[in-house]
Structure 1
Amino acid sequence: MRFDIEIYLITSTLVSAFTFIYITSTLLFSLIKKGKSSPPLEVSENVTAVIPVYKEDVKLFRKVIQSVKREKISFIVVGDGATEPYKSIVESEGGIFISIKKGGKRKAIKEGIKLVNTPYVLLLDSDTILPQGGIKRLISRLQGKVVAVSPEIKLVRGKSRLAYYSSEVVHFLRRLSYKALSIFGSVLTLNGQCILAKTEVIKPFILSKEYDEVRLFRFSTILGDDRQLTNYVYKLGFKAEIVDDVIVKTKAPDSISAFFKQLIRWYRANNFFMIKEFFDGSIFKKGAFYSFSLVYWNTLPILIIISNLTFIEIMLRHILSHPKLLDRIIEDPIHAFYFIVVRRIENFMHLFYVDPSFIYRHVDPFYFEIFMLHNVFAELSSLVSSIMLLIVFAHFRKNIRGFIMGLAAFPLMFFAEIIAMFTMWKKKWEGRQ
C-alpha cells in the first residue's frame, strides 16, 4: 500500500473516531444532573477572600469589592505593583490592602494567604463579580472529600463584540465538557477566576516553593496556577468540583488579539500539564474519560495537520498524473471543489476521468477495512459535530449575529493550539502581565 494513503487513512480515521466518541460522551454525560447540598454553616466568620490586583479597571474593581462585602466576608487585596486608587477603595469598604513589588499573580496570592486564618479561603480575580449568596452555596459543596470548588463563569462584554462572542463560545463548550467530567468526580481545572477551598489544605502548598513555578524536566512555567492547585488537591486524595448553580461574572478580553493570546496561554498550560501528568501517572487517577478528553484536546490539532497535509499530497500527486482531470477541474471548479474538498478521498472514483479502481488498487485487504471504517466515522463525526453546532446556536437563542461572530472561536482555538504546541521549547513561558 502507498505510505501516504496509509497515513491519511489512519490519521483521518482517528480524528473522526475520537471526535465522535468525545462529542457523544460529552453531550450525554452533561445531561446528568448532580444533587445539591444545603448550607452547613454561616460563612461570615469562616471565609477570607484574597484578591490580587494589577492595573484593573477602577469601576469594575469597585463592583468586585462591593460584591465581596455584600457576602459579609473578610477580604484582603494585594496590590501587585499597584496602590491607588485600589487602596482607598478597599479600606473604605472595610478590607485590608497590602502592596508588594510587581511579581505576578502567584506572588500576590502567596503574600495574601499569609494573613488568612479562617477555615476557608476564597481566591478571587480583581475582575470577577460574586453573585448574592454565592459564597454560601459554594461552601455548602465543601463536604466529604471535596475540599475546593469553583462557580461557573458568565462573561461580561468588553470593548470588542467579536472577542466577547468568541469567548462565549469557548466558555460554553468548556462548561459542557466540565459537566461531563464531573459525573466521574473529575475536574480538569478549577476556574482560576474564583476558587473557594479549605485553608488547611491549600495554604501550605501555596506557601511552598513548589507553588512558585511548575517544572517538567528542564522546562518551567508560571502559567496554570489554577490547574496546578487542582492537581495538588487530587494528589492528596481529595476532590474538586465546579458548582453549576453559582455563576460569577468576569469581563471578556477587550480585543480579538487579547483573546487569542489568552487562548495561547491556556493551551500552553494544558500541553504542559498533560505531559507532566502523563509522566507522573496522575492522568490515569482521574478516570478513563478524563484521560481520553485530555489526550483528545491536545493531540487533535496535530492529527488534523498530518491528515490534511497527506491529503493535499495525495490529491496533487493524483491530479498531476491525470492531465485530463486537471482540465476538467479548471472547467468546472465548483464541481471539483465538492468532490475533492467536501467529499474527500472516499469519492476519488467519482471524479472526471479517474479510474474507478484507483482506491482499490492502492488499498490492501487489511487497510480496506480501515478505509471503510474511515468512511463510517467521517459521517458519524460530521453528524455529532452538526448537533454540537446546533446546541451552540440554541445557546445564543435569537442572537444570530452573536452566533456568527462566535464561530471565529473555532479557527482561533485551532491556531492557538498549534502556536502553543510549537512554543513549548521556551524555558519560562510568558504569563499574564
Structure 2
Amino acid sequence: MNQVDAFYLIFGSLTLFLSLIYFILNSYFSINVESPRRTDSNRLSDVTVLIPVYAEKPSIFERVISSVYAQDVKFLVVGDGCDEPYRSITFRYGGKFIRTPSRAGKRNAVATGISHVDTKFVLLLDSDTVLPDDGIKRMLSLMDEGVGGVSVNVRNVNTGNTFYLAELIERLKEATMRAVNRSGYAVLLNGKCSLYRTELVRPFILSEEFRNPKFMGRRALIGDDKQLTNYVISKGYRALVDFETTVLTYPPETVKKLYKQLIRWSRANYYFFFREMRDGTMFKRGPLYVFNFLYTTILPFLVMGISIFDMIFLGSTIVDTDPTDYELALLHGGNFILHLLMILAKRIVFSLLLGTTTTHYPFTIPGSIFHHYQVNHPPSTFLGFHFPRLGFKYSVILMHVASYLTAIPFIYALWRLLHEEKLKTLLVGSLALAIQLVVSIYALVTIWDQDKWLTR
C-alpha cells in the first residue's frame, strides 16, 4: 500500500469516527427531550399575528386565516404589492389588511406590518402555514422573562409529489434541533411560524441590515429567520422551539422548486457559519451546536476535495478485472456501488476508444510529480509503518461497512419522529439527501457569484 492509500484509510477512519459521534449524540438527545416548563402569565390579547402574503393559493390562504381566527387573537395581513382575494378573506375573518405599493419581498412586507403592531408579542406566520388548536397559547406559555423567541415543530401536508423529499429533510432538521434545543438556544426560530417580543425585534426588522441584507456589497437573499434567531440570542435572550406544538405547511410543488429552496438554505448556512464564527453567536448555543455546525458545513468541502483529488490523481486509472482494482473502488471516494459503476464506465469508454485496457496503479505520466512520488516512496510503508496487503484490504471493507452502520441510530431516531408512511418517506425521501449534497457543493462553488444569491 502506498502513502496515498494509507492517507485515504486514515482520513476515512477519522471521518468515520466523527460521523459516529454526530449520529449517536443527535440520535440520543433527539429522542430524550424534556418537556419544557410553561407559564400562564401571558395573555392572548398580548399577541398580534403578522402574515405577509404574495401569490398564495386562495384556498390555502383561507385555511391559514381560519386557523388564526380560531386562536382568538388579533391578526394583520400585509399584501406584498397584491390585494384581492386576500383582502376579502382577511376582512371576512375580522383581520386587518395592508397593501404595500409594490412588491418588495417578504422582509419589507414584515417591516411594513410590524410598524402597525402595538402588542407585547408578535407572531410571524407564513401565508401557507396552518396553526393547530391552542398553538399560540402553547407558544406563549414558554415566553418567560428570559425568552426572546419561541418557534414550533413543522410538518408538511401530504400533497404527494415532493412531500416525501421535503418531509425527510424536515425530520432531519428536527432531530438535530431537538438535540441542540436542550441548551436553551435553538438552532433556528423557523420563519414559517415564530413568536417574538415585539420591542426586542422591531428595531432590527426596521433596520437596513434586515430589510436589505447584503453579501459583498450587493443585496442578497439570506435567511431572515436565522438572522432574527441570532439577533435574539445576541441580545442576551434565549430562543426555544416548542416541539409539542406542530404547524402544517405545504412543501414545494416541484423538485425544481425544492432544489431552489435548498440552494437558498445552503448559501445561508455558509454565510451564517462564518458570521457566527466571527461574532461568537455560535458558541453561545453549546458544544453540540458547534460540533453539528462544523460537521455539516465542512462536510461538503471534504466531499468536493476528495472528488477533485480522485479525478485529478486517481481518475486516470484504467482498470481491468484484477480484484485489486475493486479494492480501489472500495477505497477511493467512499461509495462502493458508485465507484464500481465508474469503473465499468471507464472500461467501456477506453475499450471503445483504444480497443484495449491496461492496468496502472495509479496511472502517471513519466517525469510527473506523481511518478516521482511513487518511485521515491515504497508502496508498502507509510510513516515507517508496514501495512500487509491482506490486512489493508479487509480494513478498507470494514471501514466502509461501518460507515453505513453509523447511521443506524439516526435512522431509528428519524423513524420515531416520522408520523405517516414511515418506510416510504425514508426510502423515497432519501433521494433528497443526494439532492442536498449536490446543492451544498453547487452553493459552495457559486458562493462568490452574487447574482445567484437572488435566486428564488
- So what's the TM-score if we normalise by structure 2? 0.81
Q: After the TM superposition, which of the residue ranges 285-294 and 47-56 deviates more from structure 2? A: 285-294
C-alpha separation between the residues in 1 aligned to 2:254 and 2:115? 35
C-alpha separation between the residues in 2 aligned to 1:429 and 1:82? 26
Shift of 1:408: 0.8
Aligned to 1:102: 103
User: Is the alpha carbon distance of 1:10 and 1:261 closer, same or farther for their aligned partners in structure 2, counting shifts above 3 Å?
Assistant: farther
C-alpha separation between the residues in 2 aligned to 1:16 and 1:220? 39
Give CA deviations for 1:138-193 in whole Å, capped at 9, x if unaligned: 011111421101010010133xx341101111001100000111112232211110
SS in 2 for 1:237: coil
The aligned amino acid for 1:386 is I
Shift of 1:45: 1.1
SS in 2 for 1:183: helix
Q: After the TM superposition, which of the residue ranges 6-15 and 39-48 deviates more from structure 2? A: 6-15
Shift of 1:359: 8.9
Gaps of at least 5 residues in structure 1 are: 321-325, 330-334, 347-352
Aligned to 1:60: 60
Are 1:13 and 1:373, in contact at CA under 8 Å, matched by a contact in 2? no
Shift of 1:40: 1.4
The aligned amino acid for 2:46 is N
C-alpha separation between the residues in 2 aligned to 1:195 and 1:426? 31
- So what's the TM-score if we normalise by structure 1? 0.85
C-alpha separation between the residues in 1 aligned to 2:303 and 2:65? 45
SS in 2 for 1:49: strand
Q: Percent identity?
A: 32
Are 1:212 and 1:222, in contact at CA under 8 Å, matched by a contact in 2? no
User: Is the alpha carbon distance of 1:376 and 1:199 closer, same or farther for their aligned partners in structure 2, counting shifts above 3 Å?
Assistant: farther
SS in 2 for 1:97: strand
Are 1:11 and 1:306, in contact at CA under 8 Å, matched by a contact in 2? no
The answer to whether structure 1 residue 381 and structure 2 residue 403 are counterparts is: yes
The answer to whether structure 1 residue 416 and structure 2 residue 404 are counterparts is: no
Q: After the TM superposition, which of the residue ranges 280-289 and 55-64 deviates more from structure 2? A: 280-289
Are 2:82 and 2:99, in contact at CA under 8 Å, matched by a contact in 1? yes
Aligned to 2:184: 185
Are 1:49 and 1:123, in contact at CA under 8 Å, matched by a contact in 2? yes
1:243-258 to 2 correspondences below 5 Å:
243-258=242-257
Gaps of at least 5 residues in structure 2 are: 335-358, 362-376
User: Is the alpha carbon distance of 1:277 and 1:374 closer, same or farther for their aligned partners in structure 2, counting shifts above 3 Å?
Assistant: farther
User: Is the alpha carbon distance of 1:111 and 1:26 closer, same or farther for their aligned partners in structure 2, counting shifts above 3 Å?
Assistant: same
Q: After the TM superposition, which of the residue ranges 358-367 and 272-281 deviates more from structure 2? A: 358-367
Aligned to 1:132: 133
Aligned to 1:154: 155
SS in 1 for 2:232: helix
Are 2:56 and 2:128, in contact at CA under 8 Å, matched by a contact in 1? yes
User: Is the alpha carbon distance of 1:259 and 1:367 closer, same or farther for their aligned partners in structure 2, counting shifts above 3 Å?
Assistant: farther
Aligned to 1:78: 78
Are 1:123 and 1:194, in contact at CA under 8 Å, matched by a contact in 2? yes
C-alpha separation between the residues in 1 aligned to 2:252 and 2:33? 31
The answer to whether structure 1 residue 363 and structure 2 residue 377 are counterparts is: no
Aligned to 1:163: 162
Q: After the TM superposition, which of the residue ranges 395-404 and 382-391 deviates more from structure 2? A: 395-404
C-alpha separation between the residues in 2 aligned to 1:398 and 1:227? 30
Aligned to 1:404: 427
The aligned amino acid for 1:383 is L
Aligned to 1:25: 25
Q: After the TM superposition, which of the residue ranges 79-88 and 149-158 deviates more from structure 2? A: 149-158
Give CA deviations for 1:38-95 in whole Å, capped at 9, x if unaligned: 4414633110011000000100000100100100110110000110000011011111
Are 1:146 and 1:240, in contact at CA under 8 Å, matched by a contact in 2? yes
Are 2:2 and 2:378, in contact at CA under 8 Å, matched by a contact in 1? no
Aligned to 1:117: 118
Aligned to 2:356: none
Shift of 1:328: 2.3
SS in 2 for 1:328: coil
C-alpha separation between the residues in 2 aligned to 1:302 and 1:411? 15
Give CA deviations for 1:119-138 in whole Å, capped at 9, x if unaligned: 11000000000001011110
The aligned amino acid for 2:410 is M
Shift of 1:282: 2.5
